[in-house]
Amino acid sequence: MKYYNTQILIAIISNKLYMDEYLLYNHAMNESFSFELIAVQDKARAGIFHTPHGSINTPTFAPVGTQAAVKGVTPDQLANLNTQLLLANTYHLYLRPGDNLISELGGLHKFMGWNKPILTDSGGYQVFSLGDINQIDDNGVTFKSHIDGSIHTFTPEKAIQIQENLGADIIMCFDECPDPYQFEYNRSAMNRTHNWAERCKSAHTRSDQALFGIVQGGIFKDLRIESAKFINGLDFHGNAIGGLSVGEKKSEMLTILDIVPEFLSENKPRYLMGVGTPLDIVEGVARGIDLFDCVNPTRLARHKAAFTRFGRINITNKKYRSDKKPLVVDCDCYTCSNFSRAYLRHLVKANEILAPTLLSIHNLHILIDLADQLRRSIITGTFDDYRTNYHKNASNQGDSI
């Protein structure tokens, strides 16, 4: 039986009014895209990126809704997770249901019922990883659809046109994504990516969409520096680092992240594409990254794995059979607030489709909440301590048992 205390209610109301003022201030900043740095600690940054669909507090992690849906998670649930930015895939949406249909239906935000910022990738990565490629040349890439085998060509201009039809707040340049270890291929792919970046910039017409460039160059420092300088020189709304977390060693990724950000403008957001894990986010933020996305949280959930803050657990393990604890003991996500490991294990063993939903909610929370905690630590000047403690807990297995 709950009786609300009047004083508490008034405090809630006052706070609400205060928040509205704050949002009003933010809205005024939204006239065009802009990135404000709120606090910096060494290389780590806390910022705000203003977009037509609202402001994004950085660093943050963006869930992936490949086909205009985060697998098993509703927009309502995503909003409850404090999701600030969603990613959708141009390659998939172009093939099905088609960017023209989405445009006709009012754009991606309306189509998928998500009124906050959206980012679309350019289709580059998917064309190279999913498509059956017929031809690559300076003009673009011709490939077979993974759905029905039909033949399609993506050029830089086409990738921008599709993304303008989709209507995300942040769109990406079309890039070539090679195996990270082949030097010659990486040099030519980088040069082609630079040429395509210039063409994407020329093709870009919608002022309500921010266009980001992408740095390539595999695991090669010289190429990465050359690429960062070139892409940064084109003065995009933001800069991304692509071609990482694609099979190279973790140490190789970190080496590249040690050097690339310093060549990218301080006053623009930096986006590390397709990364990753809790540890990747801590180390990416330490190196000056502001935005992250990855399919990991939802894909692992469909494969019965749950993130802890420091690693992961396989919930089908017999030791969880009668375990009354939540996935992570002090986690305040919906899943951990309501369900035991024993129940989640049962759902997975019984093939209930609620299992990937509840595990996805938890996994997404771990990454979104971690990025938010890193942001707070930067603002309060305690990022170094946070990072040191993080590594100490991780090496003690942290909350993974």
Q: Does 82 bind its own copies (CB under 8 A)?
A: no
Q: How far apart are CA 278 and CA 362, in angstroms?
A: 13
| Closest separation in Å from C-beta 329 to its own copies | 17
Q: How far is the CB of 69 from its own copies (least distance, A)?
A: 5
348 interacts with its own copies by CB under 8 A:
no
Q: Which of 16, 207, 267, 318 is in the footprint of its own copies by CB under 8 A? A: 16
Which of 148, 184, 350, 395 is in the footprint of its own copies by CB under 8 A? 350
Min dist CB 215 to its own copies, Å, is: 31
Q: Residue 25: CB partners within 8 Å, gap ≥ 6? A: none
What gap in Å lies between CA 164 and CA 30, rounded to an integer?
Answer: 19
Would strands 312-314 and 305-307 be described as parallel, antiparallel, or unpaired?
antiparallel
C-alpha distance from residue 230 to each of 194, 234, 241 (Å):
7, 7, 13
User: How does strand 141-144 pair with strand 132-136?
Assistant: antiparallel
If you search the block for the tokens 């909440």, which residue do you land on?
A: 369
Choose between 147 and 151: whose C-beta lies nearer to its own copies.
147
139 part of the interface to its own copies, by CB under 8 A: no
Question: How many residues sit close enough to its own copies to count as binding (CB under 8 A)?
Answer: 54
Binding residue (CB under 8 A) for its own copies from 338, 388, 389, 396: 338
Smallest CA-to-CA distance from 62 within 142, 217, 170, 163 is with 170
Q: In angstroms, give the least distance from the CB of 128 to its own copies.
A: 21
CB atoms within 10 A of CB 136: 15
Contact 83, 364 (CB under 8 A): yes
CB nearer to its own copies: give 76 or 330.
Answer: 76
Is 342 in contact with 320 (CB distance < 8 Å)? yes
Can you tell me which residue has the tokens 């607030």? 337
Pure H helices in 139-182: 156-166
Q: Between residue 48 and residue 67, which ones bind its own copies under the rule CB under 8 A?
A: 67
The residue (of 111 and 263) whose beta carbon lies closer to its own copies is 111
Touching its own copies, residues 296-335 (CB under 8 A): 321-322, 324, 334
* Residue 338: alpha-carbon gap to chain centroid: 27
Choice between 94 and 196, CB closer to its own copies: 94
Residue 208: half-sphere exposure toward Cβ, Cα within 13 Å: 11
* 38 near its own copies, rule: CB under 8 A: no
Helices (H) and strands (E) in the chain, counts: 16, 16
Q: Which of 1, 137, 149, 207 binds its own copies (CB under 8 A)?
A: 1
Q: Is 352 in the site for its own copies (CB under 8 A)?
A: yes
Contact window for its own copies (CB under 8 A) among 8-16, 118-126, 136-144, 238-246: 8-16
* Binding of residue 279 to its own copies (CB under 8 A): no
Query: Which member of 137, 207, 353, 395 binds its own copies (CB under 8 A)?
Result: 353
Whole-number Cα distances in Å, 55 to 22, 27, 50, 84, 243: 12, 8, 4, 8, 27
Per rule CB under 8 A, is residue 101 in the interface with its own copies? Answer: yes
Catalytically annotated residues: 121, 293
Quote the radius of gyration of the chain (alpha carbons, Å): 21
Q: Which stretch binds its own copies (CB under 8 A): 17-25, 124-132, 184-192, 364-372?
A: 17-25
198-227: which residues touch its own copies (CB under 8 A)? Answer: none
The alpha-helical segments, DSSP class H, found in 81-123 are: 90-95, 99-104, 108-112
Q: Write phi, then psi, for 384 (nearest 5 degrees).
A: -60, -45
H-run or E-run covering 305: strand 305-307
What minimum distance in Å lies between the beta carbon of 298 and its own copies? 10
183 binds its own copies (CB under 8 A): no
Q: Which of 340, 373, 393, 400 forms a contact with its own copies (CB under 8 A)?
A: 340
- Asked if residue 54 has a cis previous peptide bond (ω within 30° of 0), the answer is no
Decide if residue 26 touches its own copies (CB under 8 A): no
346 binds its own copies, rule: CB under 8 A = yes
356 scored as a contact of its own copies (CB under 8 A): yes
Q: Which residues bind its own copies (CB under 8 A)?
A: 1-4, 6, 9, 13, 16-17, 20, 23-24, 27, 67-77, 92, 96-97, 101, 104-106, 111-113, 321-322, 324, 334, 338-340, 342-343, 345-347, 349-350, 352-354, 356-358
